[in-house]
C-alpha cells in the first residue's frame, strides 16, 4: 500500500517534469541556438550544447540592427506607459470608489461594459487620430492610446471598495484632504494590488506588436517586437542571429517573471489577462 502510494507520486512528478520540460523547451532552444555559430545551428543531428559557445550573434544583432536603440525605445515606452497608466488608474479608481456624486455607478457600469470592446476594433480610428495629432511615427503614439485602462481601474476600484469608508471619514475628520488620504493612506494599503497591475501593464506594453507595426515607420522609433520582425527581413533567415534577437526581446520579461512570479500569477488568476 505504502509502496504504490510512493510509486504514484513518482509517476506524478515524472509527468509534471516532462510537461515542464516541453513548456520550457522553446526558450531553452532559443537561447542555445543563439549561442551557436551559423554552421553549428544548422547541423543535423543538432548538438544540445554548443561545442563552442559564442556571443557573436548578439554582437551582430546589436551592431547591424540597432537592437540597442529598440531596447531603449521599449524601455521608454514601458516606463512612461506604466507610470501614466498608474496615475490615471489610481485617480479614477479613487473617484469611482470613495467619492460620491450622482451617476457615479451608472458611469462605471457603462465603462465596465466597454471592457469587451476589442482593441483591434479601435485601431481603424485611433490610427487617424494619431495622424491628426501629428504623432504618427513617434514614441508618444505607442504610449498615449493605452494610458486609460478600464480593466486596471476596475481591479483597483474593487480593492479600494474593500477598504472601509470609516477610514476615509476619520482621515477627513483629522483634517486630511482627499488628495492626502489617497496618496498617504490608500495607495500604501493598496501596494500589492498596484504592483500586480503595474506588472501586468508592463508586460502588455513591452510585448505590444500590432499597434507598433501600424503607427511606426522609421527604424529609430521601433520597439523590440517590431524591430525583431524587421530583423527577420533584414538579416535573412539566419536562425542563430534571429534567436539572439528573440532572446533580447524575451529575456527582460523572463527576468521580471522570475522575480515577481507570485504577484503576476495572483494578478492573472484574479482578473485574467486583458489585451
Partner 1 sequence: MSKFKRVKKYKSDEKVTAKTFLKPAIYLLPFILGILVFTVYPFFNAVAISFKEDYKVISDTFSGWGLGNYQKIFSDPTFIKAIINTTQYVLVVVSISLVISILIAVMLNSVEKLQGLFQTAYFMPMVTSSAAIGLVWRWLFNYDYGILNYLLSLFDVDAINFLNNPQYSMISLCIYGVWSMLPFTIILLLAGLQNIDPQYYTAAKVDGAKTIDIFFNITVPLLAPTIGLVAIVNMISSFKVFDALYMLFGGKPGPAYNLYTVIFYLYEQFYTKLKLGYAAASAIVLFAIILLFTMVQNRIQKKYDYY
Q: In terms of CB distance, is 51 or 265 closer to partner 1?
A: 265
Kindly state whether residue 224 participates in binding partner 1, applying the rule CB under 8 A.
Answer: yes
Kindly state whether residue 206 participates in binding partner 1, applying the rule CB under 8 A.
Answer: yes
Q: In terms of CB distance, is 68 or 109 closer to partner 1?
A: 109
Kindly state whether residue 123 participates in binding partner 1, applying the rule CB under 8 A.
Answer: yes
Q: Which residue has the cell 482621515?
A: 171
Site for partner 1 in 6-35 (CB under 8 A): 8-9, 12-13, 15-16, 19-21, 23-24, 26-27, 29-30, 33
Helix (H), strand (E) at residue 21: helix 2-34
Task: Name the one range near partner 1 by CB under 8 A: 64-72, 168-176, 185-193, 221-229.
Answer: 221-229
Q: Assign 209 to helix, strand or coil.
A: coil
Helix (H), strand (E) at residue 169: helix 165-173
Kindly state whether residue 185 participates in binding partner 1, applying the rule CB under 8 A.
Answer: no
Task: Name the one range near partner 1 by CB under 8 A: 59-67, 75-83, 183-191, 246-254.
Answer: 246-254
Kindly state whether residue 58 participates in binding partner 1, applying the rule CB under 8 A.
Answer: no
- Calculate the CA 182 to chain-centre distance: 26
Question: Which of 21, 168, 11 has its CA nearest to residue 98?
Answer: 168
Angle between helices 56-64 and 239-271 (to 10 degrees): 80
Buried b (16+ CB within 10 A) or exposed e, 146-172: bbebbbbbbbbbebbeeeeeeebeebe
DSSP state letters, 253-264: HHHHHHHHHHHH
Task: Name the one range near partner 1 by CB under 8 A: 61-69, 75-83, 185-193, 205-213.
Answer: 205-213
CB of 110 to partner 1, least distance (A): 9
Instruction: Tell which one of 37, 147, 219, 235 touches partner 1 (CB under 8 A).
Output: 147
Task: Name the one range near partner 1 by CB under 8 A: 49-57, 64-72, 115-123, 190-198.
Answer: 115-123
Kindly state whether residue 49 participates in binding partner 1, applying the rule CB under 8 A.
Answer: no
- How many Å apart are CA 132 and CA 140, to the nearest integer? 13
DSSP, res 175: T
- Provide the strand spans (E) within the chain: none
Kindly state whether residue 194 participates in binding partner 1, applying the rule CB under 8 A.
Answer: no
CB of 220 to partner 1, least distance (A): 19
Kindly state whether residue 196 participates in binding partner 1, applying the rule CB under 8 A.
Answer: no
Kindly state whether residue 55 participates in binding partner 1, applying the rule CB under 8 A.
Answer: no
- How many Å apart are CA 157 and CA 151, to the nearest integer? 10
Amino acid at each position: 500500500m505504502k509502496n504504490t502510494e510512493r510509486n504514484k507520486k513518482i509517476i506524478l512528478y515524472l509527468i509534471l517534469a516532462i510537461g515542464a520540460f516541453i513548456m520550457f523547451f522553446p526558450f531553452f532552444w532559443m537561447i542555445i541556438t543563439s549561442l551557436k555559430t551559423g554552421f553549428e545551428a544548422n547541423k543535423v543531428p543538432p548538438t544540445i550544447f554548443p561545442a563552442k559557445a559564442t556571443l557573436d550573434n548578439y554582437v551582430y544583432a546589436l551592431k547591424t540592427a540597432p537592437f540597442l536603440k529598440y531596447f531603449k525605445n521599449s524601455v521608454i515606452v514601458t516606463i512612461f506607459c506604466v507610470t501614466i497608466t498608474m496615475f490615471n488608474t489610481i485617480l479614477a479608481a479613487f473617484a469611482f470608489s470613495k467619492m460620491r456624486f450622482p451617476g457615479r455607478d451608472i458611469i462605471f457600469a457603462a465603462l465596465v461594459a466597454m471592457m469587451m470592446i476589442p482593441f483591434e476594433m479601435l485601431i481603424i480610428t485611433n490610427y487617424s487620430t494619431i495622424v491628426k495629432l501629428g504623432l504618427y511615427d513617434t514614441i508618444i503614439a505607442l504610449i498615449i492610446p493605452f494610458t486609460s485602462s478600464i480593466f486596471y481601474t476596475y481591479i483597483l476600484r474593487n480593492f479600494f471598495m474593500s477598504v472601509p469608508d470609516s477610514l476615509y471619514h476619520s482621515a477627513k475628520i483629522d483634517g486630511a484632504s482627499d488628495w492626502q488620504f489617497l496618496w498617504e493612506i490608500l495607495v500604501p494599503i493598496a501596494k500589492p494590488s498596484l504592483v500586480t497591475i503595474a506588472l501586468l501593464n508592463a508586460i502588455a506594453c513591452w510585448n505590444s506588436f500590432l499597434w507598433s507595426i501600424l503607427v511606426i515607420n522609421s527604424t529609430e522609433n521601433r520597439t523590440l517586437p517590431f524591430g525583431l520582425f524587421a530583423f527577420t527581413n533584414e538579416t535573412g533567415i539566419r536562425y542563430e542571429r534571429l534567436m539572439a534577437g528573440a532572446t533580447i526581446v524575451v529575456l527582460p520579461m523572463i527576468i521580471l517573471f522570475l522575480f515577481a512570479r507570485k504577484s503576476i500569477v495572483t494578478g492573472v488568476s484574479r482578473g485574467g489577462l486583458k489585451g
